[in-house]
Homo-oligomer: A and B are copies of this chain.
Amino acid sequence: MAVYVTGHKNPDTDSVTAAIAYAELLKAQGTDAIASMQGELNPETQAVLRRFNVPAPEIMKDAAGKTVALVDHSDLKQAPDNLSADNVVAIVDHHKIGDVTTNSPIFCYVKPVGCTGTVLKQLYDVEGVAIQPKIAGLMMSAILSDTVNFKSPTCTEEDKKAVAELKTIAAVQDTDALFMEMLKAKSAIEGIPAMDLLNRDYKDFDMKGKTVGCGQLELAALDQATPAIREALYKAMQEKKAAGGQHTVLLMLTDVVKEGTELMVLSDDASMIEGAFNTKMTGNSMWIPGMMSRKKQTIPNLQKAFGC
């Protein structure tokens, strides 16, 4: 009976690519294995699979009657439905030890590193199995994603070493560029209605009797907001202001890589907003370096300007 290899519910890039990479390892060792996942691909993982030309795993939500290998989790809550102590045959993970138990001895390999991809890279090496270039690409992408391009506090030297070795196998020169591709896929805004984008993370605030609305979009790069998208966003801001009667409607286009925000402004008193951030607008927006947090940076500056 084939082993279904699966990551956790709400699959992310590590869960999906680890299922593929571990299934390939098992197959290389003579075990019939099927890569699977418990839900649809997110935009980042879609981009990664497309980038390395690997098909998506099949959807598998119910473990009843199946033989299952778990990757990227060991918690029953995150596992497929009807998983029992009789049908788990392996666990490969990098999280805390969860509540999955078994009735027989199985293979279990968990390491306190940043990504399951790193654990799998080491497992391939221990087992002496060569990693296919496209599979190396997937594992490397997962590590970049989970460690936020090595910036996460969960990132270890082992993660960095794994990427250094995997990039050679995958023949990928620039891992920063790969990370940026993933980030852009994750924060993609093209094709989404402008009002949905404005509302994605929008709040109205009371400023001494005046209402100031502020939305925020996190982007990998400002150029994701093309002139056409900006125009549509500005129209959405106008519609919102017309309907809601706000004194000011703002939209933060936050560049998470450059660490700053382009603030789009529609206000009854634009010069007051310029004053709040001590910056002049170009057209209907201003670039504010270092501004990342609406709660900790944008709103306090506005409150000060409005005399709150």
Contacts and interface: CB of A to CB of B under 8 A. Distances in A.
A104 interface: yes
Contacts of A95: 105
A75 to B, nearest CB: 9
A241 interface: no
A100 interface: yes
A63 to B, nearest CB: 15
Contact of A91 (B94, B97, B99, B126): B97
A102 B95 CA distance: 9
A153 to B, nearest CB: 12
A107 B111 contact: yes
Contact of A102 (B94, B97, B108): B97
Contacts of A91: 97
Contacts of A173: none
A290 interface: no
Could you tell me the dominant secondary structure of chain A's interface residues?
Answer: loop
Contact of A110 (B94, B98, B108, B122): B108
Interface in A188-233: none
A106 B97 contact: yes
Contact of A106 (B101, B107, B110): B110
Interface string A85-127: 1001001001111111111111111111100000000100010
Contact of A112 (B99, B105, B113, B122): B105
Contacts of A102: 96-97
A94 B101 contact: no
A54 to B, nearest CB: 27
Interface string A11-23: 0000000000000
Instruction: Output the residue of A107, A113, A122 with the most chain B CB within 10 A.
Output: A107
Contacts of A103: 96
Contacts of A100: 97
Given A106-B110, A108-B109, A112-B104, A99 B96 contact: no
A101 B98 contact: yes
B98 A105 contact: no
Contact of A96 (B94, B96, B106): B106
Interface of A: 85, 88, 91, 94-113, 122, 126
- The 3 tightest CB contacts between A and B, nearest first, are A108-B110, A105-B112, A97-B102
18 contacts: A85-B96, A91-B97, A96-B101, A96-B102, A96-B103, A96-B104, A96-B106, A97-B100, A97-B101, A97-B106, A98-B101, A99-B101, A105-B113, A106-B110, A107-B110, A107-B111, A108-B110, A109-B110
Given A106-B110, A107-B110, 19 more contacts: A85-B96, A88-B97, A94-B105, A95-B105, A96-B103, A96-B105, A97-B101, A97-B102, A97-B106, A97-B108, A99-B99, A105-B110, A105-B112, A105-B113, A107-B111, A108-B110, A109-B109, A109-B110, A126-B126
